[in-house]
Structure 1
Amino acid sequence: MNARADAPALPRAFWALWVCQLVNRLGSFVQPFLVLYLTQDRHLSAGTAGAVAAAVGAGSVVSQLVGGWLSDRAGRRRTMLIGFFGTAAALILLGSARSMVTIWVAAFVVGLMGDLFRPAVQATVADLLQPRERVRAYGLLFWAINLGFSISTVSAGVLASIGYNLLFWINAGTSVVAALVILRMVPETRPVLDEGPRRPLLPVALRDTTFLLMILLQIGYATIYFQGYSTLPLAMADDGLPSSTYGLVIALNGVVIVLVQPFVNRRLSLLDRPKLLATSMLIVGVGFGLGAIVHSWWGYGLSVVVWTIGEIGFAAVIGAVFADLAPVDLRGGYMGLAGSMSFGLGSVIGPLLGTNTLEHAGRTTVWLACAVLGAILFAAQLALAPALHARARAAAAVPAPSPS
């Protein structure tokens, strides 16, 4: 079968979303350099700067919940515009803030506005495309994010040497550009429903056993994944490798995604989604598990390459799986709840478990635990496959409502 020939063309509105993701990531300068800015330019203590960064994280956790709710109530397009324009304003406020109260408030609002668009984008893709087309579309968005972030991490260091204020203004400018693309090229896609007012999200989601189990599995995946940004640099330091080596090794993650994703994305869209998801989780666990037997830079580099391959498969299919699970009238809310609960909690649980296990039980235990957890997730995801297939068939059988 020729995947390229059989794949239908994606609509213009999707490519506008793709451009938004790329532009938004190209300008993502502030968050990676926020602590350095606060300590070097604002002369705050490391502890205070870390707490301000945590305020951004707290806003991000709330952001996807609010974004999902807004996209179902106010509309996908309006939510994205609020998020992008709001992010630009919050970044300018944070970059010009002098008092600690203003810095705290601006940091939280940056986090709150910064992820508001994510569930709206995911819901829009699900609105625009048939189920069989979504894996390819979500994979392309994932590639755009990583392409933009790879470029921004290189250029941000150069721009920071000129002046931190420049980072805030360019980051805000790219948010405005993304908003203008939405304003010009993306129509409202929120379905029009005939059965009356929209249902509240939580009562429906909390009774959805398959959805809740998927969130639980995704928390497990995120727990493994975030070892790459918490436990891995500490383990490499214990092996006598400098922080610059960690930077080069972790950069392989973005390089592999940018180089590999375009060539495998169409093929991934043809595979069984639950099996691909299960296999991807296993590969990520095995990739981190290699840390138990490596001590050199190239060994850690191999580990990163392996778990990045798993990440590519996971990222391509997870959005499509949750789109199949989401009721049409609660699509944005489901996407927001999934993102907030899974990666939000995973970003807290993963670093806490990993670093404490490293301190008290040693590096071998950490990496073997990642491999074991990956195997458990693999088995659990396969066990959940029949339920996911049934939900996918039911979703495909429902005629798409017209957009509002």
Structure 2
Amino acid sequence: MSISPSPAQPQFTRLVGPLVLISTIFFLNFISRVALGPVLLPLQEDLGISLSRTGLIFLTLQAGYSVALLNAGWVSSRLTHRRTILLSIWAIGAGWICVGLSPSFPVMLACLFATGLGGGLYLPSGVASITDITPSCHWGKGFAIHEMAPSLSFILAPLLVEALLFLGSWRLVYIVLGLSCFVVGAIYRKHSTAGRFSGQPPRLKALRAILTRPAFWAMTLFFVLVVGGEIGVYNLAPAYLVKSHGIPREWANFILSASRLLSLGTAFGAGWCIDKLGLKRSLTVILSAGGLATIGFAWGSSLWVAAMLVLQPIFLVAYFPAGFSALTSISEDKQNDLTVSLTVTSASLLGAGGIPALLAYLGEHVSFSLGFTGLGVCLAASALLVPFLDFRNAAAVQEGQECRHTEGG
């Protein structure tokens, strides 16, 4: 008797195309934000602001991002997830063009907040679209493809910045990215069919159920620290290498880009490891190793620091397939998008906004090494909470689970 995939569990290869299209939206959403790190020193010089004041750039952008994330359920409940994704990418495009044309720092901050509002609408709808078209036994691999977008962004952002700085100023970087968002949004509108359903608006009962769950708070802490470890280190690495190690800016950005090459395949490989090993063991190793590598980045010679800059993102990139799989596993199915919104809201405001701002302040007034060391210690210590996680959606976290096909047609 022949064995064929059931309609509910298609072969994973058939899902790659739709997943790549969704991930392209995420790529543009992400690269425009992480380009702030490589462009930070030219921007600081052009606007005549201090390094600690540049922390307002990260904080303002992520404040808008967090506000939108918190309210994304209301938007997707009225527009559907697909239309919310389209609104997000086009709003991002308009926002970055305005940032590139802004005449002053206060106007730029206002544009950054508006851009963050557009960017924050994407993730809950993106995650909901992925879990809609991907069976739970493939979630690790599905989210791994999605999380290759940040990995590519980290590699390409410094190279894109340097290429466009050669042609013009930092403003050209954001005008080009903004126009790209409009083009990709049009392609997504024409070819994507994912997410043709409405999201769940935040409900007090569902909100209370999530907020009273200890696993939610543990996962939120993990996301805050990992996002801070990844984006905070990335955004401040050029300034750290230039100011503390005397490396020219162009070389600092080249090192930053090269340091992310090994982590490019990490997310996809991590997807299979997570599906085989289980979430708890994966999370423990990732958090511990990522924390130790962050501490190592804070101390030593330029060669040692460069080596740690290569090692650290390998572990932290591997976290996200596990983290999103765990998020979908600590709540009921109808609460997934709200759980993602609440968790990533905190991670965006505190991890991608607050931690880089704090690192910038410490880098100017105390030392970069102190900031990176404290962050690494917190990351490693957070692994002690993993054994206490309570997964409710067991189908997503069974260790060694395989996708089974039904007999017949």
TM-score between both structures, scaled by the size of structure 2: 0.77
1:63–1:115: 8 Å Cα contact kept in structure 2? yes
2:96–2:115: 8 Å Cα contact kept in structure 1? yes
SS in 2 for 1:46: coil
Partner of 1:350: 355
Q: Larger relative CO (CA 8 A, sep 6+): 1 or 2?
A: 2
Partner of 2:290: 284
Residue 394 of structure 2 aligns with an amino acid whose one-letter code is A
Change (3 A) 1:77 1:239: closer
Cα offset, 1:161, TM superposition: 3.1
- Residue by residue over 1:100-147, the C-alpha shift from the partner in whole angstroms, topping out at 9 and shown as x without a partner, is 775443332112112321221112112221222111111112113322
Question: Residue 46 in 1 paired to residue 52 in 2?
Answer: no
Instruction: For 1:20 and 1:157, locate their aligned partners in 2 and report how far apart those are by CA, in whole Å.
Output: 23
Residue 205 of structure 1 aligns with an amino acid whose one-letter code is I
Partner of 1:332: 337
Instruction: For 2:373 and 2:107, locate their aligned partners in 1 and report how far apart those are by CA, in whole Å.
Output: 44
Instruction: For 2:33 and 2:155, locate their aligned partners in 1 and report how far apart those are by CA, in whole Å.
Output: 10
Structure 1, unmatched stretches of 5+, are: 1-5, 397-404
Moved >6 Å (runs of 4+): 26-30, 355-365
For residues 187-202 of structure 1, the aligned pairs below 5 Å read 187=193, 189=195, 199-200=203-204, 202=207
Instruction: For 2:236 and 2:202, locate their aligned partners in 1 and report how far apart those are by CA, in whole Å.
Output: 43
SS in 2 for 1:255: coil
What is the count of residue pairs matched by the alignment? Answer: 382
Change (3 A) 1:172 1:235: closer
For residues 2-401 of structure 1, the aligned pairs below 5 Å read 8-11=12-15, 12-22=17-27, 31-32=36-37, 33=39, 36=42, 40=46, 44-46=47-49, 51=56, 54-98=59-103, 103-164=108-169, 166-187=172-193, 189=195, 199-200=203-204, 202-225=207-230, 228-229=233-234, 240-242=245-247, 244=249, 246-263=252-269, 265-291=271-297, 294-351=299-356, 369-370=374-375, 372-384=377-389, 387-388=390-391, 390-393=392-395
Residue 391 of structure 1 aligns with an amino acid whose one-letter code is N
Residue 132 of structure 2 aligns with an amino acid whose one-letter code is D
Cα offset, 1:280, TM superposition: 0.3
Partner of 1:401: none
Q: Between the two proteins, what is the percent identity of the paired residues?
A: 17
2:325–2:396: 8 Å Cα contact kept in structure 1? no
Structure 2, unmatched stretches of 5+, are: 1-9, 399-409
More helix by share: 1
Deviates further, 122-131 or 348-357? 348-357
Instruction: For 1:288 and 1:352, locate their aligned partners in 2 and report how far apart those are by CA, in whole Å.
Output: 17
Partner of 2:402: none
Change (3 A) 1:169 1:29: farther
Residue 45 of structure 1 aligns with an amino acid whose one-letter code is G
Residue 214 of structure 1 aligns with an amino acid whose one-letter code is M
SS in 2 for 1:325: coil
- Residue by residue over 1:291-327, the C-alpha shift from the partner in whole angstroms, topping out at 9 and shown as x without a partner, is 46x5222211222233222113202211111122343
Deviates further, 131-140 or 181-190? 181-190
TM-score between both structures, scaled by the size of structure 1: 0.78
Residue 152 of structure 2 aligns with an amino acid whose one-letter code is L
Instruction: For 2:267 and 2:129, locate their aligned partners in 1 and report how far apart those are by CA, in whole Å.
Output: 22
2:62–2:352: 8 Å Cα contact kept in structure 1? no
Cα offset, 1:8, TM superposition: 2.8
SS in 1 for 2:12: coil
Residue 61 of structure 1 aligns with an amino acid whose one-letter code is S
What value does the CA root-mean-square deviation take over the aligned residues?
3.8
